[in-house]
Structure 1
Amino acid sequence: MYVIFGANGRAGGETARALLERSEPVRVVVRHREQGERWKALGVEVALASLDNAAQVSDALTGATAAFLLEPPPVANDPFEQATAISTALSEAVRRSDLPRAVVLSAVGAQHASGTGVIATLHQLEASLAGTAPATAFLRSGYFIETWSEVAECAVADGILPSFLDLDQKIPMVSTTDVGQAAARLMTQQWTGTRIVELGGITDWSARDVAAAFAEVLNRPVKPMWVPPEQRSAMLAEEGLPEEVVTVLLGMYEGITNGRFTREDGTEHWRGSTSLTTAVEHIVTKLRTAV
């Protein structure tokens, strides 16, 4: 049995689907029963647990061959306090349940304890889960291409792609489709000890490359627009995020600009197969379907 946390999110959902494509038995773990209904319709087993509750997580891991673990996006007033509660509960639950193999979603740059904003919470998660299962893999993903869906409407409606990233700075980016495929591959492999796998796309891309992909998909010009730091706080605050969450998100972009979103020497470096244009086409299709 392969147990997936975060199945209703991007990476967790893609991991569950990748395992189902392999005809593997899957159990998704959700916080509320209604969140599991669409998975039940696919023949997937559903368990209930809150990520900060070690007993519930341990129960959800019962009988697992491998599990996909992750830390959800920060929503609390203190993102590091939230991360501590979740990483502590996960590590305790893995030990309690004698989980044989864990694949933990992390991010490129998680080798740094500071200077990376919200990514530093994943450094904390890695430290907490290291060695808790006989086989543990930290899947350090590049910047999700699907994150651009948050500003895709601007590209579609106005031909402008707002970016917190420096326009010409190429960084590891990857589609969550490839994250799911990589996670499923790791979950179904046999190994012992700890692995760090850093996952990027076919090549590294910049915000300007992303704008060019939108232009290709939309068949009209799309101009990337760099958003200066002094305007970013207000944009994020408009989404209703607590000030502390805004701070760590902005810290991530500052860390990327400062070159801390880089692969670590001595790790496994994997590449996905989804092109930037294909990933953007999926974003645009989903946006148009939702209208």
Structure 2
Amino acid sequence: MQVVFGANGRAGGETARALIERGLDVRIVLRRAEQAAAWRDTGVQIAIARMDNEDEVAAALEGATGAFLLNPPPSVGNPHEQTEKIGTALAEAARRMQLPRAVVLSSVGAQHASGTGVITTLNRLETLLDGAATATMFLRPGYFVESWSEVAEAVITEGVLPTFMAPAQKIPMVSTIDVGRAAAQLLAEDWKGQRIVELGGPEDWSASDVAAAFARALGRPVTPAFVPPEQRAAMLAEAGIPKETADALLGMYDGIASGKVAFEPGVERRRGTVSLVAAVERILSARNSS
């Protein structure tokens, strides 16, 4: 039984679907019962658990041969306090249930304990979950291409791609489809101890590349629009993002600009197969169907 936490999110959902495609027994873990409706025809088992509750997490891991574990993106409160609570609950539950294998979602840049904003929470998550399962894999993907969906409205209506990244700076990016496939593949592989695997798309991309992909998908010009650092906090506040969360996100973009959000030398590295244009077309398709 493969247990997937965060199945209603991007990476967790893709991991669950990739495991289902492999014909494996899957149990997804959701926070609320009403989230289960979308999964009822897939044949998965469904567990309800708060990820900061050790007993509920342990119950969800009952009988698991492997699990996909993560720390959900912060939405309210202090991201570091959230990580401490969730990471501790996941680790203690995994030890209690003697979980044989875990693939833990982390991020490119998680080798740094500071200077990367919200990604530093994943450095802490790796520390908390080190050795929690008999075999533990930290999967460090690059920036999710699907994160650009948050500015898709401006792309469609104004022909501009707002970006906190310098338009020409190429960084590791990857579609969450590839993240799910990689996590499922790693859960199916035979490995022991602790490992780290970093994951990028077929190549590194820039905001200019993303704008070009949107332009190709839409059939009209799209121009990257760099947002200066002094304007970013106000923009996030206007979008309703709480200050503690916004500060952590802005710190990540500072880390990208400084070059700290990058592959770690000497670490195992894999590449996905989903092209930038295909991922962008999927963003637009999802908007059209919603």
TM range (shorter): over 0.9
The match for 1:49 is 49
Q: Where do 1:21-170 residues align within 5 Å?
A: 21-170=21-170
Q: Would you say the 8 A contact 1:15–1:184 is kept in 2?
A: yes
One-letter code of the match for 1:204? D
One-letter code of the match for 2:219? N
Deviation per residue, 1:206-255 (Å, 9 max, x gap) = 00000000111111110000011111111111222221111000000000
Q: Which runs of 4+ in 1 moved over 4 A?
A: none
Deviation per residue, 1:175-194 (Å, 9 max, x gap) = 00000000000111111111
Distance 1:177 1:10 in 2: 9
Q: Would you say the 8 A contact 1:28–1:36 is kept in 2?
A: no
Offset, 1:150: 0.4
SS of alignment partner, residue 197 of structure 1: strand
Deviation per residue, 1:11-52 (Å, 9 max, x gap) = 000000001111111100011111112212211100011000
5+ long unaligned stretches in structure 1: none
Deviates more, 1:34-43 or 1:170-179: 34-43
SS of alignment partner, residue 224 of structure 2: strand
Distance 1:92 1:172 in 2: 32
The match for 1:8 is 8
SS of alignment partner, residue 46 of structure 1: strand
One-letter code of the match for 2:160? I
Distance 1:108 1:51 in 2: 23
Distance 2:181 2:77 in 1: 33
Offset, 1:75: 2.1
One-letter code of the match for 1:226? F
One-letter code of the match for 1:127? T
Distance 1:134 1:9 in 2: 26
One-letter code of the match for 1:17? R
SS of alignment partner, residue 288 of structure 1: helix
Q: Would you say the 8 A contact 1:26–1:45 is kept in 2?
A: yes
Q: Give % identity.
A: 60
The match for 1:250 is 250
Offset, 1:285: 1.2
Distance 1:283 1:31 in 2: 25
Offset, 1:287: 1.4
SS of alignment partner, residue 151 of structure 1: helix
Offset, 1:284: 1.0
Q: Would you say the 8 A contact 1:76–1:82 is kept in 2?
A: no
Distance 1:276 1:120 in 2: 27
SS of alignment partner, residue 184 of structure 1: helix
One-letter code of the match for 1:148? W
Distance 1:228 1:213 in 2: 23
- Give the alignment's TM-score, normalised by structure 2: 0.99
Distance 2:258 2:266 in 1: 21
The match for 2:19 is 19
SS of alignment partner, residue 77 of structure 2: coil
One-letter code of the match for 2:169? Q
One-letter code of the match for 1:172? P
The question of 1:203 aligning with 2:203 is answered yes
Deviation per residue, 1:75-113 (Å, 9 max, x gap) = 232111111111111110110011000000000000000
The match for 1:235 is 235
Q: Would you say the 8 A contact 1:153–1:287 is kept in 2?
A: no
The match for 1:266 is 266
5+ long unaligned stretches in structure 2: none
- Give the alignment's TM-score, normalised by structure 1: 0.98
Q: Would you say the 8 A contact 1:142–1:172 is kept in 2?
A: yes
Distance 1:26 1:40 in 2: 12
For the aligned residues, what is the CA RMSD? Answer: 0.8
Distance 2:130 2:267 in 1: 15
Deviation per residue, 1:260-283 (Å, 9 max, x gap) = 011112211000000000000111
Offset, 1:153: 1.4
